[in-house]
Chain A
Amino acid sequence: MEELFEQLAYCIEYGKINKPSPFPPDMKDKDGADEITQQLLNEGISADDILQKALIVGMEKVGVKFRENKVFVPQVLMSAKAMDAAMAHLKPHFANSPGSQKGTFIIGTVEGDLHDIGKNLVAMMVEGNGYEVIDLGTDVKAEKFIEAAEQYPGAVIGLSALLTTTMNNMEEITKAIKSHNRNIAICIGGAPVNQDFCDKIGADSYNPDPQGVVEFLNKTVE
């Protein structure tokens, strides 16, 4: 069984989606995340064990490699696709046993900002690390974040912006969320954002890479 967990973690790390997938070339015609996840379930392994012992292990490696500039957006997206293939098998099991994921993360780009590559990378990485992700998409107003936070008590909110022109909306949205409920944790990110800005607007965490968000969540979510 350990061997299958390792194989599945390897598929996530290197983005092997399923057997027909041509990537990576050195895994041609080998089982991918899709087949191995199904095999583990068939052998009676719980969805939770598969998530914890294989998927998170693989995704964490991707996150660290991305932070260290050893892999880039294409490889991370391939890992996310492999993760999706595995999660498609696991999600029905999670739906039947709520609470089996680590927690909930609500994410969106702030009002006025449509640039979503960074937001999507963070969402994928957080989901791959065992959290339920509520992706509100792009150009999201404060009210929508608050509404989602009401619906998912205890969730952490992630705000993303690429532009200095929309970064200011991050401040307004953070203030609106905090004045609604100051216990909601907010993390921010995006090209122009930094720790000073995070301190200034009263957000709880700034991270320059997705793995930083995962580490913040692991510390924050009980």
Chain B
Amino acid sequence: MVLDGKQPPYVPWDCKFTIEALDKMKAHYGDDVDVEELVDNHFIKLGASSGFKINIGNDRKKDIFGVIWDMTHEKDIGNVEGLVLPEPTLDGYEFPDPNNPMLYDGMEEKIAANKDKFILYSIGFSLFERYWTLRGMENAFLDFMMYPDFVKDLMRKIADFNIAVIKNVCERYPEVDGIYFGDDWGAQKKLMMGKDVWIEFIYPELKRMYANTKAHGKYQLIHSCGDIEEIIPELIEAGVNCINPFQPEVLDVDDLLNTYRGKVAFHGGLSTQKTLPYGTVEDVVAETKHLLEMGKDGGYIFCPSHATEGDTPIENIVAFIDLIKAQKC
């Protein structure tokens, strides 16, 4: 309903937690707590939000694009180690197979077990992030300036891969309601690469990917951290239905929700940079209540503006979970 711009009976939610936050929840609710059941999210996400990886030992993982991830420090996603494409050329590089069964592993069972949920297939690191994991962050930014043709070529091939995956998902699993694209473009102020670069290099491939999702009759939800306000009109024009994580430290959540209600929904909003780690329970309650009140008219799905981090006091986690669930009582 919310994604169609209609007024819901209560504000839906979908909250994520990092491994460290989950550990705190287990300590509080008991080791055998089923967090999915406890939180009772409205979404179920299949696919992978940060890529398909296999363990290769020594606290390292390798994703299907050949990127090695060091899991020593950042245990949820990891940190890229080395460069798959040290030079701006695709000579000798083979793209992964979009028919790799790993990409669709266990989907039938998960769909069957979650028929009452809004079923999403996640394509994390969907364009720019996939690019920089292959080329390295600094090279990625320099490539926009130095090797524009190579950037366009690699972006096109990444999008082609995603489009093939979208086709497989939509044709094989008609129960899937939407595709969830993750790709960080925002900095604390404005886009990291600037709007002109985003429009020239990233937007054309986004439009192509999003048009494919729409052609299959699916919703599309996107995630980009940071201040992405200046590109919301372009995202709407490309057919985006929902924008996450709606960070209150960098975006005016009240203003955006009122401005774009009926055109695009927002998912997020509860401060993970300030209120959750540093606020009191009263602060968390006040902010959550405000967001739920604003969301009553539609256009809003509640969650913290990032996976809840391990530095959030457990009392603050319990506070927002209790409030969102109380809506249904």
Contact = CB atoms under 8 A, between A and B. Distances in A.
A75 interface: yes
A164 B142 contact: no
A contact face: mostly helix, strand, loop, or mixed? loop
Contacts of A221: none
Q: Chain A contact residues (Cβ within 8 angstroms of B): what range?
A: 20 to 34
Contacts of B38: none
A81 B197 contact: no
A198 to B, nearest CB: 14
Contacts of B142: 74, 77-78, 81
Contacts, number: 69
Interface of A: 15, 21-24, 69, 71-75, 77-78, 81, 112, 114, 117, 120, 139, 163-165, 168, 191-192, 208
Given A73-B193, A117-B192, 15 more contacts: A72-B193, A72-B194, A73-B141, A73-B187, A74-B142, A78-B142, A112-B73, A114-B74, A120-B138, A164-B277, A164-B309, A165-B310, A191-B273, A192-B249, A208-B188
Name the residue in A71, A163, A164 with the highest tally of chain B Cβ atoms < 10 Å from its Cβ. A164
Contacts of B272: 164
Interface of B: 20, 73-74, 79, 137-138, 141-142, 144-147, 187-194, 197, 249, 272-274, 277-278, 309-311
B190 A72 contact: yes
A23 B144 CA distance: 10
A6 to B, nearest CB: 22
Contacts of B74: 114
Nearest to A120: B138
B138 A77 contact: yes
A114 B309 CA distance: 16
B311 A15 contact: no
